[in-house]
Chain A
Amino acid sequence: MNTHDEERMKKLLRQALPPVNSDAGPGRDLWPDELRRLDVRSSAASPGWAWFNSAWFDGALAVGLVGFAAFLPASLPVFLYYM
């Protein structure tokens, strides 16, 4: 592709996709969205939230195991063997 072809391709491209209006600003205030994003990401990453998730999962696991042992007591020795 020579320089002439390159210039022709550039011209065609500008006609197909005109430049955007460079003075266009956002249609609304984006700060509330930014605050929401910061809150969501920081609460998901906070140790308190992780502790809650972990505690909830551990509790559910313990209840499940107790229930399993109550309904099938014969499985307890097998379970203890694999612990």
Chain B
Amino acid sequence: MQNGASDVLNQFLQGDADAFEAVFRQHQRSVYGWILRIVRNPATAEELTVETFWRIHRARARFDPAKGFEGWARRIATRVALDWLRTKRTERELSIEDCGEVAAPAEVDLAVTAEIRARTALAFGRLPPKLRIAVTLAVIEEQPQKDVAAALGISVAAVKVRVFRALRLLRKDLEEQGIRP
């Protein structure tokens, strides 16, 4: 099984179209899931999954089979999602309604009103994309910091710094709106 997968990856490296389809079908779900965690919108995640695999196909010469496909694909997917966040940041801000379709039910703290949650979501949408991705993956999605660091191409310490800066900015934003979190 392992040999079969590695054969397919080697054929993909050589530009074989059937091997690319096999790689696509094998990994599209995990790539889509990773992007969905970042962009939180199914239609956008589908669009960006297609873009990610196009970039994977274009960059196949740089793929090192010894390092594994999943991590490499995840890194490209993260970059694609980051580009999208940078482009769309000014056009669209997140709200709770945006996340309802894909989000798991939250543990609701009755002390936290719906308005505070909505304002927090909006403040989150105003974060710089680099900080937003780090806090999304490490805090909201609770992904291991090692995986987040690998996907962003930075160190674990840098992930912690980004998360801390994001939380501080969020708190400042909420305080400016008269909310003491």
Q: B131 on the interface (CB 8 Å rule)?
A: no
Number of interface residues of A (CB under 8 A): 31
Number of A-B residue pairs having CB atoms within 8 Å of each other in the complex = 123
Taking a contact as CB atoms under 8 Å apart, the answer to whether A6 and B120 are in contact is no
Taking a contact as CB atoms under 8 Å apart, the answer to whether A20 and B139 are in contact is no
With known contacts A10-B167, A12-B116, A26-B32, A18–B139 Cβ distance under 8 A:
no
Q: Which applies to chain B's interface (DSSP): helix, strand, loop or mixed? A: helix
Taking a contact as CB atoms under 8 Å apart, the answer to whether B54 and A41 are in contact is yes
Choose, from A29-37, A55-63, A64-72, A75-83, the stretch at the interface: A29-37
Question: Within the complex, what minimum Cβ distance (angstroms) separates B135 from chain A?
Answer: 7
Chain A residues within 8 Å of B, Cβ to Cβ: 1, 5-6, 8-28, 30-31, 33-34, 37-38, 41
Chain B residues within 8 Å of A, Cβ to Cβ: 21, 24-25, 28-29, 32-33, 36-37, 40, 42, 45-46, 49-51, 53-54, 57, 94, 96, 99, 102-109, 112, 116-118, 120-121, 124, 135-136, 139-142, 164, 167-168, 170-171, 181
